[in-house]
Amino acid sequence: MKELTVDATLESIPAITDFVDEQLEQFGCPMKAQAQIDIAIDELFSNIARYAYHPGVGPATVRVEVIEAPLSVVITFIDQGVPYDPLSQADPDVTLSAEERELGGLGIYIVKKNMSEITYEYKDGRNILRIRKEL
């Protein structure tokens, strides 16, 4: 397991993405899966950056683990910001046109659809959001 702690800011997203991609490349992650993971990182970390410590800034940790059976990558996002479970929101009605849909929720919906599993818990004063992608 490898981890990186950075300030929860939008400017930290490239460093987080590079860190995760470096781990994925060591295990021969397919490009399609890596692209889906990169989109998930952008969505999830941008939510942490915008809302966890608003209006301030605090730390966020990203952990990367590779599991052998089945071959999967697990990425865990940890912050000590305001408790927020993005999975508690209803999925957007994607049958509606963009003009008819309410704003918000599409990013987490895309993450849910592209990852093998996504879980959230608030424990010991920390938001812990975990995504798993089978490779």
Q: pLDDT tens digits, the chain, 135 residues: what are they?
A: 999 999 999 999 999 999 999 999 998 899 999 999 999 999 999 999 999 999 999 999 999 999 988 889 999 999 999 999 998 877 666 666 666 666 666 789 899 999 999 999 999 999 999 999 998
In whole angstroms, how large is the CA radius of gyration of the chain? 15
pTM as predicted: 0.91
CA gap 22, 45 in Å, rounded = 17
**pLDDT on residue 102:** 66
Residue 128 Cα to chain centre, angstroms: 10
Reduced to 3 states (helix: H, G, I; strand: E, B; else coil), residue 132 is strand
What per-residue string of b and e applies to 75-99 under the rule 16 or more CB within 10 Å gives b? bbbbbbbeebebeeeeebeeeeeee
**pLDDT on residue 70:** 86
CB 105 within 8 A of CB 87: no
Give 122's strand partners. 127
**DSSP character string of 69-94:** TTTEEEEEEEE-SS---GGGSPPP-T
Structural domains in the chain?
A: 2-134 (3.30.565.10)
Question: What is the 3-state secondary structure of 109-124?
Answer: HHHHHHCCEEEEEEEC
- Helical pair 31-47 and 13-26, crossing angle rounded to 10 deg: 150
